[in-house]
Amino acid sequence: MIDQDEDRADAFFHALADRTRRDILRRVLAGEHSVTALAASYDMSFAAVQKHVAVLERAGLLTKRRSGREQLASGDVDGVRSVASMLTELEDVWRGRIDRIDQLIQGD
Amino acid sequence: MIDQDEDRADAFFHALADRTRRDILRRVLAGEHSVTALAASYDMSFAAVQKHVAVLERAGLLTKRRSGREQLASGDVDGVRSVASMLTELEDVWRGRIDRIDQLIQGD
DNA sequence: ACAACCTACAACCAAACGGTTGTATGTTGG
DNA sequence: CCAACATACAACCGTTTGGTTGTAGGTTGT
C-alpha cells in the first residue's frame, strides 16, 4: 500500500494546519508538559486542548508518557524532520525542472 | 500584526494537507501546466481541480500566468522553502531543549 | 462571425473540523 | 476512604472543506 505515505502526509500537514496545535507543538518540543498545563495556556476548554494533543499524537508529532495521574506530552522531533524531508523532496522535483531547462539552453 | 505569519502558516499547511493538492504541486514544480491539463489527471470535475489550484495559489505555493486562453500554473519553490524553514524553526526550539538538558547534566 | 475551448465562479450538499458540555475512569493526598 | 485532580471520550452544534452541477466570459481558429 503506497498511499500509506500519503495518509501520513495528510495527518502531518493537517495537524500543523492549526495555530493552536503548532503552538502546542512548540511547547512540547521545548519540554514536557502535562495536558492540563497545556490547557491552562489557551482560552478554550480542556477538552478542546486534549483533542488537539490527540491530533498531534495520531500524526506522530508528539508522544505521551504517564507519570502518576498526569500524562506528560513531549514533541517528537523525528516527526517534524520527516515532514521537512517531504518538502525537501518537493524541492528536488523543482530542481529536476531546472536541470531540464539548463539542458534545453545548452542545446542538450 | 504578528499573527499575519500565523495566517500564512495556516494557509500553507492547509494547502499541503490534501493529497490531490500535493500532487498538483509536484506537477507544477516540475513544469508549467494549464489548469485543464492538470484536471485531466484526476478523477474529479474540472471545477474541483480549479479550486485546488486556487487554494495553492492563495497559499503562495503556485503562480499562474496567462498564455492565450490557457492559464499556466507553475510551482513557487520559495513558498515551499518558507514552509520548510518554519519546520526548521520548530527543530531549533527542540535543540534549545536539548541544550538545557545538557547544562543540567553538567551541573550548570 | 461563431463554434469550440479554457477558465472562473456561484449555489448546493455531505462529511469533517473545531469548539462546547457532560459523563466516566483512574490516581493521589490527607 | 474519599474528595480533589487529571484525563479520556461521547454527543452535540455551527462552520469549513471538498466535491458536484450549472452558468457566464474571454480567446482562438476557421
pLDDT at B106: 83
Query: Pick from B26, B81, B87: which is nearest to A80 by CB?
Result: B87
Task: Write down the mean pLDDT value for chain B.
Answer: 95
Could you tell me whether strands B70-75 and B33-34 are parallel, antiparallel, or unpaired per DSSP bridges?
Answer: antiparallel
Please list every residue in chain A whose beta carbon sits closer than 8 Å to the beta carbon of residue B92. Answer: none
Q: Which CATH architecture has domain A4-105?
A: Orthogonal Bundle (1.10)
pLDDT at A104: 85
Residue B94, pLDDT above cutoff 70: yes
Q: Which nucleotides of C are covered by protein (CB under 7 A)?
A: 5-11, 17-22, 26-28
pLDDT at A1: 63
For residues B1-17, average pLDDT: 91
Instruction: Note the Cα B58 to chain centre separation in Å.
Output: 10
**Among candidate residues A26, A5, A22, the one with its CA nearest the CA of residue A82:** A5
pLDDT at B4: 86
What letter represents residue A24's amino acid?
Answer: I
CB pair distance less than 8 Å for B94 and A80:
yes
Percentage of residues of chain B with pLDDT beyond 70: 97
Report if pTM > 0.85.
yes
pLDDT in tens, chain A (108 residues): 667 899 999 999 999 999 999 999 999 999 999 999 999 999 999 999 999 999 999 999 999 999 999 999 999 999 999 999 999 999 999 999 999 988 888 876
CA–CA separation, B4 vs A93, rounded Å? 29
User: A19: Cβ under 7 Å from strand C?
Assistant: no
Summarised one tens digit per residue, pLDDT across range B26-71 is 999 999 999 999 999 999 999 999 999 999 999 999 999 999 999 9
| CA/C1' separation A13–D10 (Å) | 26
- Residue B4, exposed/middle/buried by CB under 10 A (0-12, 13-18, 19+)? exposed
The residue ranges of DSSP E strands in B55-97, in sequence order, are 62-67, 70-75
Check if the beta carbon of residue B80 is closer than 8 Å to that of residue A90: yes
Which nucleotide has its C1' atom closest to residue B69's CA?
D27
